[in-house]
Amino acid sequence: MRQTILENDLSKVVELAKQGKRLDGRAFDEMRDFTIELGKCENAEGSARIMLGQTELIAGIKMGVDKPYPDSPDEGAISVGAELIPLAHSEYESGPPSFDEIEVARVVDRGIRESKSIDFAKLCIKEGEAVWVAFMDFYPMNADGNLFDAGAIAGLAAFMSAKVPKLNDKNKIIKHEYEGKLELKRMPLLTSFVKVGGKIMVDATYVEEKAAEARFSVSTTEDGYMAAMQKGMGGSFSVDEINYMIDKAFVIGAETRKKLLKQMKQ
Amino acid sequence: MTEEKIPDYKKDKKRVDGRKMDELRPISIKVGVLPNADGSAYLEWGQNKVYAAVHGPREALPKHTQNPYKAVVKVNYRMTTFSVPERKQPRPNRRDMEISKVLGEALDKVIFTEQFPNTEISVYVEVIDSNAGSRVACLTAASCALANAGIPMRDLVAATGIGKAFGELIVDLDKNEEDAPDAVDIPFGIMPNSGEIVLLQMDGLLTKEEWDKLVPMGMKACADVYAVQKKALQEKFSLSEVSEKNVEAVIEAKPKQDKEAKAKTDAKTEKKDSKAKKVRK
Amino acid sequence: MKRVVIPGEMVSDQRKRLGGNVFVSNGKIYSKVLGISDESDEKASVIPLEGKYFPQAEDVVIGVVSRVVFAGYGVNINSFTESFIPKSAMREDLRIGDLVSSKISYVNELREAELGFPRKMFGGDVIEVTPVRTPRLIGKNGSMLELLKQGTGCDIVVGKNGRVWARNGNIDLLRKVVMFINDNSYKSNLTNSVEAFFKAEGIQINIAPKGEKKVAEESEVLDAGSEESEVLGGAESEELN
C-alpha cells in the first residue's frame, strides 16, 4: 500500500525523537532486521538481494577483462555503480544520474575500495596487458530508507560470493567455468546515521530521512579501521556527535557482520 | 564444453532441457511485493527474473504529455547490468526503448484508459536475470501488477515466445534455442479471453505454413501462462468466514521490535558502549 | 455464491442489470477489476479489492496538503489527480502535510474533485487503508464505524478515500482493528467477529439504530464542519454482509 508523508508523521518523528523514541519502536542504535539471499542472478558472477526492513535492494557483480591503468600495470580494479530506479519509489525519475544516485554509489564504493579488502594485485592477469575489473551495481526495488547500508551489505555479500571466471589462453572468458572466488581480506561495512530533532539514530526509514537535518556514514572493518566517511544533507554535527557515531558504527558494524556471515553460511 | 547444445530429435521428441515442444519453463508469480508501488509483481520464468511496478493513474507530467481523452500508458523496460552474460551498459539502449514501446502498446488496448483522462499509468519493469523471453516475462508480470493496482482492464495480457529451433516448432525458446542457426523467435502476447493479439514481433525466416501451425501452439501456451497469472492474483484472497478468534490473534500479536527487542538492546547498549571505546584505533 | 474474479473474467452470461466495475461484450458480462462478485445478486457487479479512490460528489474525504502556491493548496486525496483549494476557502493558512477534511461538492469529467467546506484537522492520527475497501469500515448504516467508536472510545472520521482519522481513546487498538478489517474486508461475518472481540475484552457495546439524535451528538465532539461519513447506495460502494 502506498504511504503518503503526512506532516503529522514528520513532526511526529521529530517529537518522538526528542522523547527518545522512533515510529517503529526501535532504539536509536538499533538496525532493522535484514535477510540476505545470495546468487539469485545466475548471469552475474556474484549477486545478493537484501531486505532491510521494507528496503529491498539487489547488488550484482560482473567480472570483465580490461587493460590496466598505465600507472598501475599490475593491478585490477573495482567499479561500483547504483541506479535509483523509479520502480522503487515514485520520487525517483528516469533520466540522467541524480546527485543522490551518484553519492550513494560513490560512498559505497569508497567504503569497500579504501578498506583495501580486495587485493588488486591478485586481480592481475598479465602485467601491462590484462587485469580483472569487478563491476558491482546495485538497485533498490523498494526504497524505504538507508540505501547506503543496504547497498554496502548486499554489495559486500556479492563481492564475497563472487566467482572468478576461467580464461582461455587468449585471456577471453570461458562461459560457465570458474576458478576460485574473489577472496576479500576484510569485511568493510557502512553504518549510516541521521540527526532528527537533535538526536542521532541509525538506519533511517524513508520517513525518518525526510524528517532529518543531516546524515553521516562511516565504513568500519573488523580489525578496527575506518575506511570511509561521508557527511550528507545540510545540517551539521558536533565533534562529539561524530565520535559517538564512529564508536557506534564499530559496534553495529560488528553485529551486522556477524548476522551477515551467519546468513551467508546457510 | 561446446557453446551450443543440440537436441537429438531423431532419438526422442525432447528439447535439450527435457521439455516437450509445447511445454513452458516453470513460471512463478507473486503480487503485491513492493509496498511503494500502487501495484506490483515479482515473476520468475525459467532463469528470467523480473520485477514489475505500477505507479498510477496519476497526473501526467510534463503537462504536454497529457491526453484529455484518456490515460497515457508508459512502460519503462530496463535490465540491470548483471542480468545478462556480457555486462550491460547502465543506461537504456535502443533495444530497451523499442521493447518499452511495444509493451506499452500491448497494454494500452487492454486498460480502460478512457476512464482516466489527463493521467499517466507508468509501468516499470526491471529484469535482474535473463535467459531469452525477458520481454514476454515482463509483459506477463506487468499485467498482474496492473490488476494488483486495481486498474480496470478488459482482460489480462498473457505472453510467451513461440518459434522454431533445430528444425522443430516450439514455444518458449530458451537462449540455447534462440542462438540456433535456424532460430525464429516470435514474442506473442494475447488477451486470453478473446484471443486478440496485442504483442507480435518476429526475428527469423518462417513459412506461412509454419506460422499457421504456431498460432494454436501460442494460444495454448498463453492459456497456460494465464492460469499462473490468475492463481497468483486470486491466492491472496480466501473467501473463508472470519471468527472472533481471528480478530484476537491479530490484535494480541506483539510486533517483533516491541517488547523483547527493546529489553535486549537496552542491556546490550550498556555492555557495548564500554567495549566500543577500546575497539577504535 | 461469492468468488474472486480477475479483470476480463466472466461474471454472468445472463441478462442482468449492470452494477459497478463490469462491462458487456458479446452479450456477456465481465469484470473490469480484481474483486468479488456474487452470482446470486440480481445485479451484476464486482466489488473491487484494490485501487485508488474514485471521487464521488457528497463523499467525505481526508486530504493531505502536498503543494503550496500563491493562489492556494494542492491536496492529495489518494485519487488520480490532486484537488485544489483556493486560499480564500480556508480560514487558516495551511502547510505541506496538514490534514483537511471536506465533502466533495463536484466531480468534473476529468475526475477532478472540488472540495467543499474544507476544514483543517487538528492533531489526531491517520490510519491509511486501501481506498476501495473503505466502505467496509463504515458498514451497513454505519454499523461498523459505530462499533469501532464504542470499542475503542476514539473520535473517528472515516474518509471515503482510504484515510481514517482518530483522536482520543485507544488509538493503538483502533489501528490494529482497522488493519484487520482492511485485510479481511471481503470475508463474511466480519462485523459480528469484531463485535464479539470487543465484548470479550469487556467493552460495552450498544449498537442503537441510527437516528437524527446520534448524528447531532457526534458533531459536537468532532471539529465543527467535519461530518461523519455515510454509506452511500450505488454501484461503486456496495457493502458485504
Span A7-265 CATH architecture:
2-Layer Sandwich (3.30)
| pLDDT over 60 at B280, yes or no | no
Name the residue with cell 473491487: C48
pLDDT at residue number A5: 61
| Closest alpha carbon within chain C to A6 | C97
Please return the burial class of A64, using the count of CB atoms within 10 Å of its CB with bins 0-12, 13-18 and 19+. middle
In terms of DSSP bridges, do strands C125-128 and C113-121 run parallel, antiparallel, or are they unpaired? unpaired
Q: What is the mean pLDDT of residues A215-237?
A: 96
In A, minimum Cα distance to C122 occurs at A8
Q: How does C34-61 read in b/e, with b if 16+ C-beta sit within 10 Å?
A: bbbbbeeeeebbbbbbbbbbbbbeebbb
Kindly report, as residue ranges, where domains of CATH 3.30.1370.10 are found in chain C: 125-221
C2-48 architecture in CATH?
Answer: Beta Barrel (2.40)
CB contacts of B118 in chain C (<8 Å) are 81, 110
Q: What pLDDT is recorded for position A2?
A: 53
What's the pLDDT at C241? 26
- Which comes out higher in pLDDT, residue B261 or A150? A150
Contact of C34 with C9, CB cutoff 8 Å: no
Residues C119/C61, Cβ–Cβ less than 8 Å:
no
* Chain A residue nearest residue C76, CA to CA: A4
Q: Which of A1, A6, A11 comes nearest C64 by C-beta?
A: A6
Q: What is the pLDDT of residues B238-248, one digit of tens each?
A: 888 888 888 88
Contact of C63 with C96, CB cutoff 8 Å? no
| CB B114 within 8 Å of CB B70 | yes
CB C62 within 8 A of CB C99: yes
**Residue B77 distance to chain C (closest CA, Å):** 23
pLDDT at A104: 97
pLDDT (tens digit, 9 = 90+) per residue, B154-180? 999 999 999 999 999 999 999 999 999
CB contact (8 A) between residue B193 and residue C193: no
pLDDT of residue B1: 39
- Cell numbers linked to A58: 539487489
pLDDT > 70: percent of chain B: 89
Mean pLDDT of B105-126: 96
- Which grid cell is C225? 464542519
CB–CB of C95 and A8 under 8 A?
no
| Selected residue with higher pLDDT from B86 and B247 | B86
Its ipTM equals: 0.92
Tally of CB atoms within 10 A around A172: 11
Q: Does B124 touch chain A (CB under 8 A)?
A: yes
Q: What is the pLDDT of residue C232?
A: 26
Q: Which CATH architecture has domain C60-121?
A: Beta Barrel (2.40)
Q: What number is the average pLDDT over the span B245-263?
A: 62
Q: pLDDT at residue B2 above 90? A: no
Mark residue A159 as left, alpha or beta (left: phi above 0; alpha: psi -120 to 50; beta: remaining): alpha
- Whether the pLDDT of residue A143 is over 90: the answer is yes
Contacts of C189 in chain B (CB under 8 A): 241-243
pLDDT of residue A171: 85
How confident is the model over B164-220, as pLDDT tens digits?
Answer: 999 999 999 999 999 999 999 999 999 999 999 999 999 999 999 999 999 999 999
Residue of C96, C99, C128 with shortest CB distance to A3: C128
Q: How far apart are CA A23 and CA A29, in angstroms?
A: 14
pLDDT digits (tens, 9 = 90+) for A183-193: 899 999 999 99
As a whole number of Å, the CA-based R_g of chain A is: 19
Q: Give pLDDT < 70 ranges for chain C.
A: 207-241
Record: contact B119-C80, CB cut-off 8 A: yes
Cα separations (Å) of B143 from B137, B199, C127? 10, 13, 29
Q: Over the stretch C131-187, which tens digit does the pLDDT of each residue have?
A: 999 999 998 889 999 999 998 999 999 999 999 999 999 999 999 999 999 999 988
Select from A42, A87, A248 the Cβ nearest to the Cβ of B126.
A87
The beta strand positions in chain A, using DSSP E, are: 34-38, 46-52, 55-66, 77-82, 124-126, 130-142, 163-167, 173-181, 189-196, 199-202, 214-220, 226-232
Q: Which amino acid type is present at position C90? A: M
Q: Which of A2, A4, A141, A176 has the highest number of chain B CBs within 10 A, making it the mutation to test binding with B?
A: A141
Q: CA of A126, closest CA in chain C: separation in Å?
A: 58
Q: Which homologous superfamily does the CATH classification assign to the domain defined by C125-221?
A: K Homology domain, type 1 (3.30.1370.10)
Ranges of CATH 2.40.50.100 domains, chain C: 2-48
Q: Which domains does chain B have, with CATH numbers?
A: 27-234 (3.30.230.70), 244-279 (no CATH)
Q: Which DSSP category does C17 fall into? A: E
Residue C21 has a pLDDT of 95
Residue ranges of chain C assigned to CATH 2.40.50.140: 60-121
**Between the CA of residue B47 and those of A1, A249, B129, what are the distances in Å?**
29, 38, 7
